[in-house]
Amino acid sequence: MTVLKKITLSNIRRFAANVTVPVSSQATILLAPNGTGKTALFEAIELALTGAVARLGEDTFALVREGERRAEFSLDFGEFVHQAAVTTDTTSVFWSGLSQVHGTSNPADIGYLLRLTHLLDQRDKHWFTQEDSLSAGDQLARLPLGQDAQRASGLITGLKLAVTKARAERERSANETRSAVQLWHHLLQQRDAAREWISHDLPTLDQLAQTLQRYSGDAISTENLDAVEAAQAVLASDAQMKLRELREKFVALQQMGAICHEFTLVLGDVSRLAVLKAQHQQAHRDAQLTRDATVVEVTRAAAEHIEAELSLKLVKDELSRVEEKGHLQRSLQIENEALTSERQALAQSIEARTSASEALKEALDVEDRHAQWTRARADWQDKVGELEEATHAWLVWSADIDGIRACDERILDTKQLIADRQRALGEKVVAHEQAVRRAAEAKERLQTLQKSSDSIRAAVATIASDLPDEHGDCPVCGISHGALELRRRMTDQLKVIDPALQSLAEYERECREAVVQSERVKDEATQTHHESVLLLDVISNERDALHVRVGALRRLPIFNEADLETANIRLTALRKELDDTKSVLDERAQLLAPRPTSEVLLQKRQLAHNAAESEAESTQAVRRRESAVSMLQQQLDASSQAITPLRSRETLIEEMAKLAVAVERIHQERRKAQAMADIEEENQRQSQALFESAHAEWQFAVNRMLGCRERWSLQQLSGDPDQSVLAGALNDLESAISRSEEVSVGLDHIRQDIARLRGAVDYRSAQQAIDTQRGQRSELEHSAYLVEQFDAATEELKRVDESRSTLDTFSAALTNEVEQVHTRLLDIEPLWQSLLGRIVREPRFSQTALQYLRRRNKPHAHVQVPLGERDAPAYKVASEAQKADLQLSFLLSMAQVHRWSPWKALLLDDPTQHHDLVHASAVFDVLRDYIVDHGFQTIVTTHDPIQARFFARKLENDGVHVNFLTLLPKQGGVGVQSF
């Protein structure tokens, strides 16, 4: 199994040079405060795996630490190493390339796949769960699952466009050949039809014009056939219009026979109904007079009845006042007796309330004295605590004074050391400069000697190249050595190295080594001097820190800027004062009465409260009773002050009985009068209805008579409707219709002659078009040629349709394959929802759904959560913590279901930065399961030390090997330290 062993960083962002991060095979936790390099670490991992950083784009030089020119990074997997380097030059990235970690994935897709299944970075705007549908779908399409089908689907689209374009061209060609065949046949048919029109003798234009002149009052032009044809069309249209109008008028006159018969009947109805209307009108007047008399009688009876009822009501009111006065007297007596009893109960309640209040006051006084002693005791304890804190501060103060003295001594020693090392550094710098000068002089001498030697060797080589092959005399000494010997001597001379040159080159090399050695010694002296300076700074900072802490302790209120001895004296005095205070408190405690318990206080408060409530209730009862007595007395006084003295009850009852009999008698008379009035009212309504009905019938008959006259007048007939007048008008119309029909027939014959002349013209035109199309071919040959062209185009279109059908069949199968791939991609949904149910508290997110579909032949993906009765994008509903949980759970699900790399790893950059510890614990439980149960190597960073320690303990309790590291800023940059 592929496992990361260690990470090495050098000059990455804020990291120092050659920083090694040991990586556990199970879990590595990096505690890093914000700004120390968490994001840079994950960007460096992305660079080593993909050769690029998505966030930086072309500006990868931003990974290089400020002041440096090159940054390096490596991932050590044991069997192989991934390396990457970034420089500030133009070609800024050097990458080791692909390995077995990448599997069979397309290199261009690795950056996207890494964020789908391995890496949770801080670029939350580009998380899968917050991407738009097109970008999210494009990321899922990069998974190895079904990539061949996706690629083939993309090719199919291009092929379909090409086939569609080819078919359109073939179809256009087939349509053009079909149109040519149809046009040829149409011309042949047009010529044959025109030939039939000219099979008989044809009239001339003058003859047609003379015939038309008989039907027209205007002159007929004989310039051309179109003019004659237009004149015939106008005359024929006018004749047809006139014939249609005559026929319509004839039909309308035929309907006037019924109007004449109806007019005769209506005249009789009008006379009869006028007599009937006058009779009903007189009967209606008589009924109105009778009804008015009965109404007067009803009004008189109603007045008598109202007067009798008013007398009876006055007697009843007087009897009611007599009975009410007696009732008030009895009620007042009862209320006075109840008021006396309630006043006695109020006196008893006041006495009980006074006794309970006094007992409660005594208990509260004792409780208050105990509370005062308790507060004094608490104040004493607070002062004792302050004394202990001040004593501890004094001890720290004393220790800090000793530390300051020690720092002063160390500073003196360090300054002496710096002076010594400064002197030694100056000596090393002078020695290095001397070595550099000697090396430069040796190099210059060597170059001069080298140039001289090269010139001599070049001259010998030139002489050797210019000598003839048979020449044996030496050109320098003149001795004859022979051609072969001379050649050998020259060759040996070219191979010989000048001893002086060799010696000088050795000396130059020794000088260079001396420069390197002196530079190393100088660098060591510089580093030693620098360390001494840093040590002095550290000691000075320590001394300043001690001074600051001493100053803070002296400014405490209890010391008030005093010196160490004075502060000790104040502490001693305060300690003695507190001892005296404790003695006084102990004496007061012995003098206190026993403290009442809370139950006793509660009981006394309850008794006092009950007594007060009883007193209040009694007081309210007495007040209500007094108010009732007062109200009854007022009512009784008002009743007794009546203006007239009241009669006895028996007298009033006797008079009321007599009046009741009189009222009943008058009421019976009123009812009889009202009944007679109702009868007469009904008779009046019936007579009025008969009159109105007769008037309506008479008016209807009059309206019918006027309608008959109006319709007769519309046909331009005079007088009232008459059968004899109607018969004469019909005879005249029949004669006019016959004449108009004869004119239409004559004009139609002329139209046929014009058509025959037109056919002759069409025949010549059709023949000319046929001759133009066939060219040198005969008509039969041209017909065969057009049919052959049409068949060829049709066959080509059929072949393209067969290719398109084959492509559609393949596309359907491929679409089915892609849909199956989509189904497999959605396999993560149950696991995703399960993880969300464990991490996110809000129930709606456990129903998060992933939709993956193709729209316009492009992959789209949506992450939706239910919101009421609809679904909404998850990132628009979630908080910042919930967004992080959505992306983390999605990444975990994808890592478990869709694996594209043999390296099972989770790279999580501060996944719980928005969580409290309770919420983060749920996330840690899920990560623990992935480490223990599924074998994922996990690297997690966090800025929260509490969460980091909690996660580490949780993993260690389950036997997980944890590398707990922290990123610390140092002098040379950020480094890694075991926690």
The DSSP line for 208-245 is HHHHHHTT-SSPPP-S-HHHHHHHHHHHHHHHHHHHHH
For residues 335 and 630, give the distance between their C-alpha atoms in angstroms, rounded to a whole number. 10
Which of 978, 749, 788, 979 lies closest to 22 in space, CA to CA?
978
Amino acid at position 880, single letter: E
3-class secondary structure, 940: strand
CA distances from 695 to 273, 278, 860 (A): 8, 9, 84
Please give the pLDDT value at position 728.
78
Please give the pLDDT value at position 24.
92
The token pair at 542 is 């320590």
Which of 118, 46, 55, 42 lies closest to 909 in space, CA to CA?
42
Please give the pLDDT value at position 820.
46
For residues 172 and 181, give the distance between their C-alpha atoms in angstroms, rounded to a whole number. 14
- Four-residue CA torsion sign, 542, 547, 552, 558: positive
For residues 648 and 654, give the distance between their C-alpha atoms in angstroms, rounded to a whole number. 10
The token pair at 736 is 């006019």
The token pair at 750 is 């002329």
Q: Report the run of H or E that residue 30 belongs to, with start and end.
A: strand 27-31
Residue 719 region by backbone torsions, left for phi larger than 0, else alpha for psi between -120 and 50, else beta: left
Amino acid at position 368, single letter: D
Q: Give per-residue burial for 901-910: e unless 16+ CB within 10 Å, then b.
A: bebbbbbbbb
Cα of 400 vs its chain's centroid, Å: 61
- Four-residue CA torsion sign, 925, 930, 934, 939: negative
Q: Which residues pair with 963 in a beta bridge?
A: 28
CA angle, 691 as apex, 685 and 694 as ends, to 5°? 140
Q: DSSP state, 122?
A: S
Amino acid at position 766, single letter: A
Q: Give per-residue burial for 54-75: e unless 16+ CB within 10 Å, then b.
A: beeeeebbebbbeeeeebbbbb
Q: Are 159 and 857 in contact (CB under 8 A)?
A: no
For residues 22 and 965, give the distance between their C-alpha atoms in angstroms, rounded to a whole number. 9
Amino acid at position 799, single letter: R
Q: Are 87 and 73 in contact (CB under 8 A)?
A: no
CA atoms within 13 A on the CB side of 929: 12
Which domains does the chain carry? Answer: 1-103+901-979 (3.40.50.300), 205-254+722-769 (1.20.58)
Which of 672, 581, 32 lies closest to 300 in space, CA to CA?
672
Q: Report the run of H or E that residue 970 belongs to, with start and end.
A: strand 962-970
3-class secondary structure, 469: coil
Q: Report the run of H or E that residue 618 belongs to, with start and end.
A: helix 598-640
User: Order of strands across the sheet with 81-87?
Assistant: 19-22, 6-10, 70-76, 81-87, 93-95
The token pair at 699 is 């008016």
Q: DSSP state, 827?
A: T
SS3 labels along 175-209: HHHHHHHHHHHHHHHHHHHHHHHCCCCCCCHHHHH
Q: Report the run of H or E that residue 864 belongs to, with start and end.
A: strand 858-867
Q: Are 670 and 301 in contact (CB under 8 A)?
A: yes
3-class secondary structure, 963: strand
Q: What is the mean pLDDT of each run of 10 residues along the chain (979 residues)?
A: 89 88 93 83 88 82 85 89 84 76 77 83 66 50 49 60 77 81 75 61 68 69 68 76 80 77 79 80 79 78 78 74 71 78 81 80 78 82 81 82 86 88 87 87 79 63 60 59 65 59 79 86 86 86 83 77 79 82 78 76 79 81 79 72 60 77 80 80 80 82 80 76 76 79 75 68 68 76 78 81 71 55 60 81 66 58 68 74 83 84 90 87 90 92 90 90 89 84
Q: In 10 A of CB 892, how many CB atoms?
A: 25
Which of 903, 943, 908 lies closest to 923 in space, CA to CA?
908
The token pair at 5 is 């062993």
Please give the pLDDT value at position 904.
92
Q: DSSP state, 979?
A: -
Please give the pLDDT value at position 643.
42
Amino acid at position 675, single letter: A
**CA-derived radius of gyration, the chain:** 64
Residue 403 region by backbone torsions, left for phi larger than 0, else alpha for psi between -120 and 50, else beta: alpha
Residue 547 burial (10 A CB sphere; 0-12, 13-18, 19+):
middle
Q: pTM value?
A: 0.38
3-class secondary structure, 857: coil
Q: Which residues are within 8 A (CB) of 760 and not within 5 positions of it... i.e. 6 or more apart?
A: 194, 197, 198, 202
Which of 60, 55, 63, 52 lies closest to 124 in space, CA to CA?
55
Q: Report the run of H or E that residue 114 belongs to, with start and end.
A: helix 110-117
